[in-house]
Structure 1
Amino acid sequence: MTRTSWHPASLQLLSLSLLLCSSFLSPMLVDAAAGTADGSEKWGYVEVRPKAHMFWWHYRSPQRVDNGSTPWPTVLWLQGGPGGSGVAIGNFQEIGPLDTDLKPRNSTWLQVADLLFVDNPVATGYSFVEDESALVKTDWEAAADLTTLLKKLYNRNESLQKSPLFIVAESYGGKFAVTTALSILKAIKAGKLKLNFGGVALGDSWISPEDFVLSWGPLLLDVSRLDKKDSEKSNILSQKIRQEIAKGQYSDATNSWGDLEAFISSSSNGVDFYNFLLDYGRDAVTSMSTVKVSRKLSMINYKTYLTSKASSSGGISGFMNGVIRKKLKIIPKNVSWGGQSGLVFSYFSNDFMKPRINEVDELLSLGINVTIYNGQVDLICATKGTEAWVQKLKWKGLNNFNSLERKPLYCDGEEAGTTKGFLKSYQNLHFYWILGAGHFVPVDQPCVSLKMIADITHSPAVSSS
C-alpha cells in the first residue's frame, strides 16, 4: 500500500505525477508475448482496454506432477499498493524462483504450484497507459481489467484451463482479490471465461481499513510503543476516520489516515508499520540510508520496502530496468518499470478506505474457499484488525468457526518442533496465524508459508514428495 499525491505532505510526488501526465506514451502494441525456449516461462502484454496495457509473467513449475486425480494448481499473485509490482516484488523478492541476485530461492512457491504474476492495476510496474484517462479509480475497475487479461490467457489454452487458479494477495491486493474473484465467477457463469477457480487467500490484507486503524492505538499501547496518552490520541483520530467512512467521506478518511500514521510515527519514534517490534529501517530487508520517517511512511514505502534485497545497481528499479528488461525483450522503448506507478495510488483516493467485507461474505456464501493469513507482528494490517473484521461477517458458519480450537503449525529442519503458527478451518473459511512474521509473511517465515500454500492449493507435490 502506497501513499501519494493528494495529501499536503506529498507535493514532490504530485510534481512527478504532473510530469508523467504531460508525457503519456504513444500507442505501440496491442498484445505481445515471449518466453523461454523450453516453455517454462512466458510473459507478455494484454491490451485490457484501449490504451491500457497490462503485463503478465507465467512460470511453469519444474516439479509439476500428475497423480491422475488432483490437478496441478496455479497461483495468481496480486501485490498491494495500489501500485506495487507483483512482477518485481512478489516474484523476485518474495515467492518466485529467483531472488534479485538471480540466485535460486529455496522457498519458492514454484515447488508446489505454477505462478502467474501481474502488474496490476494498469500503470503499475511494466504495465502502462497511453493516456491518463485509461487509469482506473476503483477496485471493481481493476477487477474488470484482470478478468479481461485472464480471458485472453485462458480461453484458448486447455493446459491453463485444467489447472485450478488460486488468487493469493498481499496488503491492498486483498481488495483486488475479492473483487476479481467475484468478477471471474460472473464471467465463468456467463460462459465468457474458461477457468477452473480454486479460491482466494488474503495475506495481511487491507479488507477493512476502519478495523485496522482502530487496532493501532490499543496494540501499540500493549507492546509499549505508545504510552496511554498517545494511545488515547491515536484512538481519537481513529474514531474520526470511522465517522468519515460511515458518512461515505472516503477521500477525507484517506487524508485522516495519513494524519494518524504521521502521529503514530512521531509518537512512537518511528515504529515500523510492517513489524511493530522494530524501528523503521532496522530489519533485515530495509536500508536506513534510504529511509526517512514521514507522515506517508507505510504506504508510500510499500513498493520499495524490500528494495535493499536487490543488490544490483539502482536497487529494484535498476534491476527491473536493467537485466530483467533485457531478458524480457518486449518492453516498449519508452516504457520503464515503475515509470507511471506514482499515479496509481492517487487515482484510488476515493476507494482506498472502502471496506470489502461484503465481498468476502459473498464469496463464502457461494462456497468459494477463502483463506486468511496474517503475520503476528504486522502493524499496518494487524492481526487484531483482521480478527475484528472477520467477526463482522454474516456468513452462517461463523459461530461454528469461532467455537473451534486452533491447530499448531510446525516446520521441519533446524526449528523442528517449534510452533510456527496456528490454523483454524471450518467449511470454506480458513485462518492462519503466522508467528514471527510481519507484513511480508513469505519473506519472514518462508518454510511455514510454503507449507501453507501447498495446503491451500491441495498441491500434488505434497503427496508425491
Structure 2
Amino acid sequence: MAESHVFTFPFLPAIFFVPLFFGASAAVTEGTQDGSEHWGYVEVRPKAHMFWWYYRSPYKVEDANNPWPVILWLQGGPGASGVGVGNFKEIGPLDLDLKPRNSTWLQIADLLFVDNPVGTGYSYVEERELLVKTDVEVATDLTTFLINFFNENESLQKSPLYVFAESYGGKYAATLGLSAFDAIEAGKLKVKLAGIALGDSWISPEDFVISWGPFLYDVSRLDYNGLEKSVRMAEQIKKQVNEGKFKDATSLWNELLSVIEDSSNQVDFYNFLLDVATNTLSLTAPERLQTTSMKNSRHMDALGSSLSSSSLRSLMNGVIRKKLRIIPDDVNWGGQSTLVVAALDGDFLKPRIREVDALLAKGVNMTVYNGQLDVICATKGTEAWMAKLKWDGLRTFLNMDRTPMYCADDKATKGFVKSYRNLRFYWILGAGHYVPVDQPCVALEMVASIIQSPLNLKKSNTFPYAYSI
C-alpha cells in the first residue's frame, strides 16, 4: 500500500457500543471512533468468555446483488490465537511491526477473528473445568458466539459468511459447519453460511502421520532407516486410533515427531526445505525447547503456534492490550493456552472426515487448499483423506484435470485447482503450512475466487488501521 494512502494516529479512545449492534449477551463491546474496528467478549457459557475482533473493510464494494462477504478466521493449535497469529502474522490489516500489510484479506472481505476455544489468546475461563474437551464442544461455543454476533445486526445478516480455517482449526470448522447449519435451519442463527475453506487442515491425523515417512523420504529428508522407523510407528498410531486409544496414540505421536526430527537433522514440519533453526516463522530455539518439554504441549507447537513468537506475545500483552482496554487485569494473552491443549488431548487424533462428508451432502460449499512444502498436514495426507469421502461427486471430482494458477502478471505456475459441484481443491506451490504467509499473492487470488469477491486493488484514500506505538 502506498505510503500516501496511510496515516498514523495515536491510540483513539475506545468507545462502548450498545448491545443492539452485536447481541444482547455480549459482556463487553468496544471499538474505534471511526467504526473501522469492533471487539469484545461474549460469555458463551457462564464464566467462559470468548474474545473477538472485527474489521470493516475500507475497500468494500457496494453491490446489492452481491453483498460484501465476511470471513471468519479459525486458528489451529489447539490453543493458537486467531486474534494474534491470524491477524498480525497472516491476513489482518497490520503486520507484527504494525505496518500495513499489502496482502491483507480486507481487500476482498470484512474480517472476523476469534480467540477459540475459550482459554485461547485473550479468551478465558474462570474455572479450569469449563475448558472444552471435544471439537463438538468447540463448535457449540462458536455457534453461541455467532448467534450473539449476527442475530441483532440485520446489515451483517445480509453478508455471506465464509469460514476459513488453518491446521487444527480445520477440525473446528468442520464441526462448526454442522452446528451452524443446524442452528440456521432451526432459526436460531441468522446468517448465510456461504462456504467453508480448510487450509492445511488436520482433518484426518491418521492419514497425515502415515504420509510423513514416505513424503520425507521422497524429498531426501529421511533415509531408508528413518523411513522404516517412521512407518513402523505410524502404523502403531493408526492401530491405537482405530482401537479408540486416542490418548495413547497422542503420546506415541509425540515420540514420532522426535524420531523424525532426529533422523532428518531437525526438519521443519511446516516447510521441508527448512530446518527448525533456519525457519524465521518458527519459535526461537529456547522457546521451542520450553514448549516441547511441557507434557501435552508438543502438538500445539506442531499445529499452529509456531508463529506465536516472543515478539508477538510482547505485542499482544503490551501495545495491543493497551489499545483494546477491556482485557481483564488477571488475563494475559495466551496465558491459558497450554490448558486448552491438555483439555483437548483426547480429541487431538480423532478424524473429522465424516463431518466434511455431511457438509458436502448438505450442499455447503467446501474448499480444501494445501501448501506444497508442508509436512505436518502434507498434501499427500490431504489427498488420502479426501479419497475416503463418500460424497456422491467424488469419483467425477478425482477424474477431473487440474487448472493451473497464476498471480497478477507473473507467468510462473503458482498452483493448481480443480472444482466440481460444491468441492474445490487448491494445490499451492512454494508454500508451507502457512499459505497466506508463504504465497500471499496467490492466496489472495484464491480467496477472491472462493468468495466471489472483486479483488479491490484500488486503495482508498485512507487506511484506518495504522497507528503509532
Which is worse superposed, 383-392 or 260-269? 260-269
% identity of equivalent residues: 60
| Alpha-carbon RMSD | 1.7
Are 1:93 and 1:306, in contact at CA under 8 Å, matched by a contact in 2?
yes
User: Given the alignment of the two structures, is residue 243 of structure 1 paired with residue 239 of structure 2, yes or no?
Assistant: yes
Q: Which residue of 2 aligns with 1:430?
A: 424
Separation (CA, whole Å) in 2 of partners of 1:359 and 1:98: 34
Question: Which secondary structure state, in structure 1, belongs to the residue aligned with residue 52 of structure 2?
Answer: strand
Separation (CA, whole Å) in 1 of partners of 2:150 and 2:308: 33
Q: Which residue of 2 aligns with 1:120?
A: 116
User: Given the alignment of the two structures, is residue 300 of structure 1 paired with residue 301 of structure 2, yes or no?
Assistant: yes
The counterpart of 2:258, out of the listed 257, 262, 265, is: 262
The one-character-per-residue Cα deviations of 1:378-415 (angstroms, maximum 9, x if unpaired) are 000000000000000000001100111100000125xx
The one-character-per-residue Cα deviations of 1:101-152 (angstroms, maximum 9, x if unpaired) are 1100000000000000000000000000000111100000000000000111
Question: Which secondary structure state, in structure 1, belongs to the residue aligned with residue 347 of structure 2?
Answer: coil
Q: Which residue of 1 aligns with 2:104?
A: 108
Separation (CA, whole Å) in 1 of partners of 2:305 and 2:457: 37
Structure 1: 5+ residue runs without aligned partners? 1-28, 309-313
The one-character-per-residue Cα deviations of 1:180-202 (angstroms, maximum 9, x if unpaired) are 01000110111111011111000
C-alpha displacement at 1:304, in angstroms?
4.3
Which TM-score applies when normalising by structure 2? 0.89
Question: Which secondary structure state, in structure 1, belongs to the residue aligned with residue 331 of structure 2?
Answer: coil
C-alpha displacement at 1:242, in angstroms?
0.6
Question: What letter corresponds to residue 177 of structure 1 in structure 2?
Answer: A
Aligned ranges 1:345-356 → 2 under 5 Å:
345-356=341-352
Question: Which secondary structure state, in structure 2, belongs to the residue aligned with residue 425 of structure 1?
Answer: strand
User: Given the alignment of the two structures, is residue 338 of structure 1 paired with residue 334 of structure 2, yes or no?
Assistant: yes
Q: Which residue of 1 aligns with 2:8?
A: none
Change (3 A) 1:144 1:201: same
The counterpart of 1:447, out of the listed 433, 436, 441, is: 441
Are 1:274 and 1:298, in contact at CA under 8 Å, matched by a contact in 2?
no
User: Given the alignment of the two structures, is residue 362 of structure 1 paired with residue 358 of structure 2, yes or no?
Assistant: yes
Q: Which residue of 2 aligns with 1:136?
A: 132
Question: Which secondary structure state, in structure 2, belongs to the residue aligned with residue 318 of structure 1?
Answer: helix
Equivalenced residue count is 430
Are 1:262 and 1:297, in contact at CA under 8 Å, matched by a contact in 2?
no
C-alpha displacement at 1:464, in angstroms?
9.2
Which TM-score applies when normalising by structure 1? 0.90
Question: What letter corresponds to residue 447 of structure 1 in structure 2?
Answer: C
Separation (CA, whole Å) in 2 of partners of 1:39 and 1:325: 19
Q: Which residue of 2 aligns with 1:229?
A: 225
Change (3 A) 1:299 1:372: same
Structure 2: 5+ residue runs without aligned partners? 1-24, 460-469
Which is worse superposed, 277-286 or 116-125? 277-286
Q: Which residue of 1 aligns with 2:164?
A: 168
Question: What letter corresponds to residue 316 of structure 1 in structure 2?
Answer: L
Separation (CA, whole Å) in 2 of partners of 1:378 and 1:441: 9
Q: Which residue of 2 aligns with 1:4?
A: none
Question: Which secondary structure state, in structure 2, belongs to the residue aligned with residue 453 of structure 1?
Answer: helix
Change (3 A) 1:405 1:463: farther
The counterpart of 1:285, out of the listed 274, 281, 284, is: 281
Question: What letter corresponds to residue 227 of structure 1 in structure 2?
Answer: D
C-alpha displacement at 1:460, in angstroms?
3.9
C-alpha displacement at 1:286, in angstroms?
3.4
Are 1:167 and 1:199, in contact at CA under 8 Å, matched by a contact in 2?
yes
Q: Which residue of 2 aligns with 1:36?
A: 32
Q: Which residue of 2 aligns with 1:275?
A: 271
The counterpart of 1:328, out of the listed 307, 310, 324, is: 324
User: Given the alignment of the two structures, is residue 193 of structure 1 paired with residue 194 of structure 2, yes or no?
Assistant: no
Separation (CA, whole Å) in 2 of partners of 1:346 and 1:287: 20
Question: What letter corresponds to residue 306 of structure 1 in structure 2?
Answer: L
The counterpart of 2:407, out of the listed 404, 408, 411, is: 411
Separation (CA, whole Å) in 2 of partners of 1:276 and 1:45: 39
C-alpha displacement at 1:281, in angstroms?
2.8
User: Given the alignment of the two structures, is residue 69 of structure 1 paired with residue 65 of structure 2, yes or no?
Assistant: yes
